[in-house]
Structure 1
Amino acid sequence: MQYTVRVKPGSRRGPLVETTDDGLVVHVKERAVDGAANEGVVRALAEHFGVPPRDVTILRGHTARIKRVEVDE
């Protein structure tokens, strides 16, 4: 299943996944440096959906705050 995700890097609330009308909002503690925030997003979404991190793939938006993510459930 594919989801639109808004990422909040460097958040004190993270890791946290919230559901909104527009999609998911993922708060991660990692900053957007050297892909650390993307790794945090993958881990947070994997925990949220109860799947291993290898089943979460960022399809688009690797360098943007709004991403398209696929989760193999």
Structure 2
Amino acid sequence: MSEASGENAVAIEQTDANGVLLPLRVTPGAKRNAVGGVHDGALKVAVTQIAERGKANQQVLKILAKALGLKKSQLTLVSGETSRNKRIACRDVSAAELLQRISALPANS
């Protein structure tokens, strides 16, 4: 089941009662870390770390957890380890709750 409302909504997929899959569009090597905005149904995340030996992926999880008020241990990279398009499993949060947290983010936090 996908939860999205409107053109610029993030296409979150409820996996089970305990979690959701969150699509991301990541920009490594950015000037500053930022979470916000939507690109083709994916939440945009920019990180200053370059894509090298998984370092950018670790920074993505850290920044995303902080921005969404989650623990880093609740987030797991499911797919897209070497791609800009990633899917993150978010445990112990509902799709509705995650959408609410995303909508509370500034356009480019």
Is TM-score (shorter-chain normalized) higher than 0.5?
yes
Consecutive unaligned residues in structure 2, runs of 5 or more: 1-19, 94-109
Residue segments in structure 1 that go unaligned for 5+ positions in a row:
none
In structure 1, the residue matched to 2:42 is 23
Runs of 4+ in 1 over 4 A off after TM superposition: none
Q: CA separation in 2, counterparts of 1:59 and 1:65?
A: 13
**Aligned residue pairs: how many?**
72
**Cα distance in 2 for residues equivalent to 1:70 and 1:48:** 16
In the superposition, the TM-score normalised over structure 1's length comes to 0.89
- Tell me which of the two structures has the higher relative contact order, counting C-alpha pairs closer than 8 angstroms and 6 or more residues apart: 1
Q: Which has the larger radius of gyration?
A: 2
CA RMSD of aligned residues (A): 1.2
Partner of 1:13: 32
Other-structure match for 2:78: 59
- So what's the TM-score if we normalise by structure 2? 0.62
